[in-house]
Structure 1
Amino acid sequence: GPVAKLLIEEARERGDLIQGRFWDSYSNLTLKTLSMLNWARRFCPQAHFLAKVDDDVLFNPGALLRYLNRSTVTNTYEHGDLYLGRVHLHVAPDRDPDSKHYLPRGAYPASVFPDYCSGTAYILSRSSLLKISLMAASSPLPTPLPPEDVFVGLCARAAGVLPSHCPLFSGGPAVPYGRCCYQAMVSIHHISPREMLRFWADIHSPPPCSWLGLRASLGVCKVRAMLGTFLGVDQGLVKVTMHK
């Protein structure tokens, strides 16, 4: 069809499209992630880390690299297992048949998922990528498939890879815009394409925020995000871009 022709044209122009053989639906996000893992495993042997980021997330690679370089993180994980993001703890499967996250007991009998990183944005080291994708390829896929981030968490747990929480990944309440705050954050959820362009230009324009400015701004925007949640105030544009 016409869409396929446009895709071929864009693939020729940019050379950066990968197409999977499945219907692009919300429930097939897990298959999309599986193809991403397999593709990266096969074609990116030189990459130390893989970042999976949703398209309504403002992702800041500079902040991520600063985080990875700064602590013992790099020494520990460059050749070890890193599965980093906003960790969801003790989440129960959704047993409501009308929910888009519905998971019957037959597909997943346990009452709670292993801890896993929010699918909004997470980072895998090369060794984690190998272990998780090989585990996913070797285990039978339940029907219906668990949500994408839960599935990665299940494969990680089975492969002995533990999730690491990083507070610089947002995935819960909307984080109100603050230049220094967004400079320090690795990922911020619920951002529209127009906002992305505006925020990106602003956080990368001089002057840079001081270390103290970054720390103070992070605290302030997290408190404002929590207050917004408590007061029921939506301080960010909630935009769902995945196909339902």
Structure 2
Amino acid sequence: MRIRIKAEVFCTLLLLMALGTLLYTLFRPTTKQDVQPLHKPKKLKTPPPTTASAKKYYDSKIRVGKAKLLSEIYNAGVDSEEVKATIPTVVTQPPFDFQQYLKGKDHRNFSLLINQPNKCTKPSGDTFLLIVVKSIVEEFDRRESVRKTWGKEGMVNGVRVRRVFLLGIPRNKTTVSLWESLMQQESHYYKDILLWDFLDTFFNLTLKEIHFLNWAEAFCRNVKFIFKGDADVFVNVENLIHFLQNHNASDDLFVGDIINHAKPIRSKKSKYYIPETMYGLGMYPSYAGGGGFLMSGVTMKKLANACKEVELFPIDDVFLGMCLQRINLKPVLHEGFKTFGITKPSAAPNLQTFDPCFYRDLMVVHSLKAAEIWLMWNLLHSQQPPCSQKQRIKKPFRWKKKKPFQFPPHF
């Protein structure tokens, strides 16, 4: 009995010693070398750069407006904290550098990198309508949409229609890799690209205007009429041709969505801001909205000469209005040109503006996506017209006159 109690006491002491050793092992202070994780943790941050990569990064000059993308810096092995300390604060630039514009505004002759000298001569036959579309290198999908819908070349309603696109050098060449080769291939395939070597910016649209007029005078002198517009417009070419066939091609013609009595915008926050030092008058001459307009070949030749005598202006629509004023030609308003889009009447909230019935009797509708242009073209040229004669839009929405209230006879 006594021996059994001693054995139990001895076992208890051994267990207490083992427990004490385990507790000491768990709670004693440890060093970094003692901790060995079971699994390697996932790297949330890029490891510090090597000496070579760090030297390569710090030797590179980072300037305002030319700072590297964060993704590029991470790929170079630079920690985010180093990026914050290295990249200077980007200074907000004004929307337009008027001083630089005034210094270079007399430079108006740029080289033609891609030309279509035979556009209006081959195949044989006079060009009745030349479709001219302002575009940029990146918008291949919009050019393709125009080519396959309203901008098709060939015979339309018995007259010949041709097409060209106006482009400049992309402002950010890295957005489209190998853009020069792509443009050459597109031009070889479609033969409708005109590319000049000025930067394709909003305020250089005036350069597109004068360079196209010079090109048309040199290579398309016999064209009867010209439609010039943007790549995001829908054009009912059949309506344009029907309208033009009632006009003499030897007369002056300039038709569109004409804007009269427009005042220069003096707010610096506006995209169209013009300081008084650049234009001191209180009103612009009448001009056409740039979404699209029509002119005769005779007017084109006169404008080409007049624009050489007018100082360049950063808003191309207004500049062309100045050239029209120079030749004493007043532009004509046509209700079929909707260069500001179709506005749904407030009195008819259930009216669907994206409806073929709206487009059947119009000339030009601005601000459409490429897919919408495809859809509208196919709807209008389907075998079964979607609109009946009663549904067709003949004139803009008008409020109905209310009939005077009459009391009932028994009142």
Q: Check whether the contact 1:180–1:218 (CA below 8 A) recurs between aligned residues.
A: no
Q: Which residue is 2:362 aligned to? A: 185
Residues in 1 aligned to 2:380 and 2:394: alpha-carbon distance in whole angstroms:
14
Q: Partner of 1:121: helix, strand, or coil?
A: strand
Within 1, Cα distance between the matches of 2:211 and 2:303? 12
Letter of the 2:226 counterpart:
L
- State the alpha-carbon separation in 2 of the partners of residues 212 and 107 from structure 1: 51
Check whether the contact 2:337–2:362 (CA below 8 A) recurs between aligned residues. Answer: yes
Q: Which has the higher contact order (CA 8 A, sep 6+)?
A: 1
1:33-44 correspondence runs (5 A)? 33-44=209-220
Q: Secondary structure at the match of 2:226?
A: strand
Q: Do residues 8 (structure 1) and 179 (structure 2) align?
A: no
Query: Of 274, 282, 290, which residue of structure 2 is paired with 1:119?
Result: 290
Q: Distance in 2 between matches of 1:139 and 1:151?
A: 8
Amino acid of the residue matched to residue 383 of structure 2?
P
Tell me, yes or no, if structure 1 residue 166 matches structure 2 residue 359. Answer: no
Deviations 1:27-67 (A, max 9, x none): 11111121121111211112111111111110111111122
Q: Is the 8 A contact 1:59 1:188 kept in 2?
A: yes
Q: How many angstroms does 1:211 deviate by?
A: 5.4
Q: Say which one has the larger Rg.
A: 2
Q: Distance in 1 between matches of 2:373 and 2:237?
A: 14
* Distance (whole Å) between structure 2 residues aligned to residue 213 and residue 83 of structure 1: 30
Distance in structure 2 (CA, Å) of the matches to 1:54 and 1:164: 19
The equivalences for 1:85-124 within 5 A come to: 85-124=256-295
Rounded to whole Å, the distance in 2 between the matches of 1:21 and 1:178 is 40
The residue identity in structure 2 corresponding to 1:202 is L
Are the structure 2 counterparts of residues 150 and 207 from structure 1 closer, same or farther at C-alpha, using a change threshold of 3 Å? same
CA RMSD of aligned residues (A): 2.0
SS in 1 for 2:294: strand
Indicate the SS of the match to 2:264. Answer: coil
Provide the TM-score with structure 2 as the length reference: 0.49
Are the equivalent residues in 1 in contact too, given 2:340–2:367 (CA < 8 A)?
A: no
TM-score by length of 1: 0.81
Describe the shift of the 1:126–1:52 C-alpha distance in structure 2 as closer, same or farther (beyond 3 A): same
1:46 matched to 2:222? The reply is yes
Give me the whole-angstrom Cα distance separating, in 2, the residues matched to 1:69 and 1:212: 26
In 2, the alpha carbon distance for the partners of 1:158 and 1:125 equals 17
Give the unaligned 5+ runs of structure 1: 227-244
Structure 2 residue ranges without an equivalent (≥5): 1-176, 344-352, 400-411
Amino acid at match of 2:224: H
Write the distance in 1 (CA, Å) between the matches of 2:311 and 2:202.
20
Shift of 1:97: 2.3
Query: Do 2:204 and 2:314's aligned partners in 1 also have CA atoms closer than 8 Å?
Result: no
Say if 1:102 and 1:37 are closer, same or farther in 2 by CA, change over 3 A.
same
> Given that residues 236 and 362 in structure 2 are in contact (C-alpha distance below 8 angstroms), is that contact kept between their aligned partners in structure 1?
yes
Moved more, 187-196 or 42-51: 42-51
Asked if the contact 1:93–1:113 (Cα under 8 Å) also holds between the matched residues in 2, the reply is yes
Q: Tell me the distance in 2 between the aligned counterparts of 1:213 and 1:174.
A: 17
Letter in 2 for 1:48: K
Quote the Cα distance in structure 2 between the aligned partners of 1:119 and 1:171.
7
Report the number of matched residues: 213
Q: Identify, as 1 or 2, the structure richer in helix.
A: 1
Residue of structure 2 in register with 1:139 after alignment: 310
